């Protein structure tokens, strides 16, 4: 996702991307072995920020930072994606890990499956590729007729909330 942001925003910002253990990470690059790792979505990555908050906190505390933020990421990205073992390995070497409370929009449920813990996936049951925000928007704005039933929406919100809590606190 960092490469997407850099390509899109290259006219006005340099995210100082670099490669580490097969991952593309947001800079500045951490040069020491004593660091704080930050896991999160676009807010942690620092989209549109010349200095994301992990950099600012690290500077204020006098310690290196490892920004492991990824746009569109939900908790499942850090738990089950193909990158999860590498990310958690880096995080385990940190003195401290800060985890952003990420949105529940990328949670797999009965109407959306993303698999990777990111916002791209497909609508169920028809398998139409789309982003999670489009699935929710279609339900609430009437494009997906299932959303016309308040009982359906209530059950889906409850399902999503339970899945979010289960994934976060029982994994």
The pLDDT value given to residue 131: 87
Peptide bond into 166 cis (omega under 30): no
Query: Residue 90: which residues within 8 A CB-CB, separation 6 or more?
Result: 20, 21, 37, 66, 68
DSSP 8-state code for residue 23? E
> What integer pLDDT is reported at residue 56 of this predicted model?
96
Tell whether the model's pLDDT for residue 52 goes beyond 90.
Answer: yes
Mean pLDDT of the 63-82 span: 88
Mean pLDDT, residues 103-125: 83
Mean pLDDT, all residues of the chain: 90
pLDDT category, 167, cuts 50, 70, 90? confident
Residues 58-79 have a mean pLDDT of 90
- pLDDT-based confidence at residue 1 (cuts at 50, 70, 90): low
Asked whether the whole model's pTM tops 0.85, one would answer no
Predicted local confidence at residue 117, as pLDDT: 63
Mean pLDDT on 144-153: 95
């Amino acid at each position: 996702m960092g490469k997407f942001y850099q390509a899109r925003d290259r006219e006005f910002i340099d995210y100082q991307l670099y490669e580490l253990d097969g991952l593309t990470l947001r800079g500045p690059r951490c040069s020491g072995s004593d660091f704080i790792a930050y896991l999160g979505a676009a807010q942690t990555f620092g989209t549109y920020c010349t200095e994301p908050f992990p950099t600012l906190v690290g500077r204020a505390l006098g310690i290196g930072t490892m920004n492991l933020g990824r746009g569109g990421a939900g908790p499942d990205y850090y738990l089950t994606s193909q990158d999860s073992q590498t990310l958690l390995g880096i995080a385990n070497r940190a003195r401290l890990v800060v985890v952003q409370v990420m949105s529940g929009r990328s949670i797999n449920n009965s109407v959306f499956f993303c698999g990777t813990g990111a916002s791209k996936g497909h609508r169920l049951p028809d398998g139409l590729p789309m982003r999670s925000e489009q699935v929710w928007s279609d339900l609430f704005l009437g494009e997906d007729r299932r959303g016309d039933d308040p009982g359906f929406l209530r059950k889906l919100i409850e399902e999503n909330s339970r899945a979010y809590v289960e994934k976060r606190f029982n994994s």
